[in-house]
Amino acid sequence: MTSPRTRIVEEILTGNRFLLTAHINPDGDAVGSLVGLMHLLKALDKDPELVMPPPGAPHKFSWLDFGSQQNSRPSETVSCQPCPKEVDAFFVLDCGNRDRVQKELQPCFDSCRVLNIDHHPDNTHFGDLNWVDAGRSSVGEMIALLAGDLDVPLTGALAEGVYLAMVSDTGFFSYSNTGPETLRLTARILENGFDLDRLNRRLQRQSSLNKIHLHGLAMSRASLYSQGRIGVIRADRAMFAQTQTTAEDFEDLINHIRGIESVLVAVSLREEQEGVKFSLRSWGEVDVKSIAARFKGGGHINAAGGNIPAPLDQAEEQLVKAVKERIEEMNL
Ligand SMILES: [Mn+2]
C-alpha cells in the first residue's frame, strides 16, 4: 500500500489550487509549516491560498514571508459554502481534530478533499487522507520531507518557515522529540546558505521591558507543590493590566519552572475573560497529554495544554491534584 506521505506528494503533483490552514491560536509550528507549505507549492507553480487561523499569526513572527499582508491576519470572512473557488485539496496542518479548525472553515470538511498533515498522537484522522506521524518533531519537519520528495531545495522563505516550525516545537532542538531527521534537515538548510544569525536574532530579540516586568511579577510568585515535583507559574488579568502586556508575553515562562531542579511537571495558568488557559511541560516519562485530556485538552507527551472553565485558584487546585495523582501512580 502506498504510504500517506507518498499519496500527499501525488496530490500535490496532480492538483493546482490548494487551501491551507492550521489549528486556531497558531503557534510557531502552525505558522511556520503553513508558510513553508505555501512556498513549497509556489515553487512548484501551484496556486496555494493560506488562511491564517484566528487570532492571526503572532506579532513575533511578522518577519516571515506570508506572500501577502493578508495572509498573516485571521481570515474570519472566509467561507467555503458554496466553495468560492475550485479547490483541489484543503490542507489542515498541525491539527489533531477538526474542532481546532476555525468555524468559518468547517463547511470545507464537506465540500473539499481534506489532507491532514500532523504529529499529534491523539489525532482523530478526520481528513480524507491523513499523514500523521507522532514520531516527527513538528509538522515543519514533515513539510521539509515533502520538499525533499518533490526535489524542491530548502531555501528562502520555505526554509525559514520550516526552521521556525522545528525550533518552536523542539525548544531549539532540546526536547526529546528532536530526532536525527530533524537535525539532518536542519543541516541541509544550513548547507543551502541559511543565515542562522539573522533568523535567530529575529526570533530571540522579541522582548520588551513590559514583558520582563510581567515575568518578574509572575516568577516572584511561582510556587512548588508535592515535595517540589510540581512547579506552578500563573498570571491573573491584573498582572497583564499592571504591566501593559498580553497573553503572548506570558508564553515561554513555563520553561523556567521546568528548569527547577526538583520539578517533574511544570504548570502554567493564565486567567482569561472566561476560565483559565493552562500548559503543562514535563521531563521524560511523565505523560502530561493524559493529564490535559482529563480537562478535555491535548498535546504531546511532554507538552500539553487546554482550558478549564473555573476561577484561577480552583483551576490551579484541580490541575495540581491531577498532576499529583499521575506522578504518584508512576511512583515518581
Ligand atoms: Mn506542532
Provide the pLDDT for residue 81. 57
Tell me, in angstroms, the distance from the centre of ligand 1 to residue 285's CA.
20
- Domain identity same for 199 and 216: no
pTM score over 0.75? yes
Residue 110, helix vs strand vs coil: helix
C-alpha triplet 136, 141, 142: angle, nearest 5°:
80
Provide the pLDDT for residue 84. 58
| Alpha-carbon dihedral 132, 133, 138, 143, rounded to 10 degrees | -70
- Domain identity same for 139 and 11: yes
Read off the pLDDT of residues 105-135 as tens digits, 9 standing for 90 and up. 998 998 899 999 999 999 999 999 999 999 9
- Domain identity same for 250 and 236: yes
Spatial separation of the C-alpha atoms in residues 20 and 114, rounded to whole Å: 10
Band (86; pLDDT cuts 50, 70, 90): confident
Exposed/middle/buried for residue 323 (C-beta within 10 Å: 0-12, 13-18, 19+) = buried
Asked if the model's pLDDT at residue 83 lies above 70, the reply is no
- Domain identity same for 42 and 157: yes
Q: Which amino acid is at 228?
A: G
Tell me, in angstroms, the distance from the centre of ligand 1 to residue 198's CA.
23
Domain end: 177, 204, 231, which one? 204
Domain end: 160, 189, 204, which one? 204
Tell me, in angstroms, the distance from the centre of ligand 1 to residue 182's CA.
13
- Domain identity same for 237 and 143: no
Average pLDDT over residues 214-233: 97
The DSSP bridge pattern shows strands 114-118 and 129-132 to be parallel
Asked if the model's pLDDT at residue 79 lies above 70, the reply is no
Helix (H) or strand (E) holding 289: helix 288-293
Domain end: 152, 184, 204, which one? 204
- Domain identity same for 169 and 242: no
Provide the pLDDT for residue 40. 98
Cell 488562511 belongs to which residue? 51
The percent of residues above 90 in pLDDT, for the chain, comes to 85
Band (243; pLDDT cuts 50, 70, 90): very high
What residues are paired with 266 via a beta bridge? 231, 281
- Domain identity same for 37 and 120: yes
Length of the chain, in residues: 332
Spatial separation of the C-alpha atoms in residues 74 and 56, rounded to whole Å: 4
- Domain identity same for 217 and 85: no
Read off the pLDDT of residues 8-22 as tens digits, 9 standing for 90 and up. 999 999 999 999 999
Band (276; pLDDT cuts 50, 70, 90): very high
Tell me, in angstroms, the distance from the centre of ligand 1 to residue 259's CA.
22
Q: What is the CATH number of the domain that holds 322?
A: 3.10.310.30
Tell me, in angstroms, the distance from the centre of ligand 1 to residue 273's CA.
26
- Domain identity same for 156 and 17: yes
- Domain identity same for 176 and 154: yes
Q: What is the CATH number of the domain that holds 10?
A: 3.90.1640.10
- Domain identity same for 71 and 85: yes
Which residues lie below 8 Å from residue 236, measured CB to CB, with a gap of 6+?
271, 312
214 is in which domain, residue-wise? 209-329
Q: Tell me which DSSP letter residue 266 carries.
A: E
Band (284; pLDDT cuts 50, 70, 90): confident
Spatial separation of the C-alpha atoms in residues 154 and 186, rounded to whole Å: 9
Provide the pLDDT for residue 305. 95
Domain count, the chain: 2
What residues are paired with 52 via a beta bridge? none
Tell me, in angstroms, the distance from the centre of ligand 1 to residue 118's CA.
7
Read off the pLDDT of residues 173-211 as tens digits, 9 standing for 90 and up. 999 899 999 999 999 999 999 999 999 999 988 889 999
Average pLDDT over residues 60-89: 80
Tell me, in angstroms, the distance from the centre of ligand 1 to residue 191's CA.
25
- Domain identity same for 142 and 290: no
Asked if the model's pLDDT at residue 153 lies above 90, the reply is yes
In order, the DSSP letters of 174-197 are TSTT--HHHHHHHHHHHHTT--HH
Residue 329, helix vs strand vs coil: helix
C-alpha cell at 123: 489525532
Spatial separation of the C-alpha atoms in residues 9 and 148, rounded to whole Å: 10
Asked if the model's pLDDT at residue 82 lies above 60, the reply is no
User: Under a CB-based contact definition with an 8 Å cutoff, are residues 186 and 173 in contact?
Assistant: yes
The DSSP bridge pattern shows strands 303-308 and 276-282 to be antiparallel
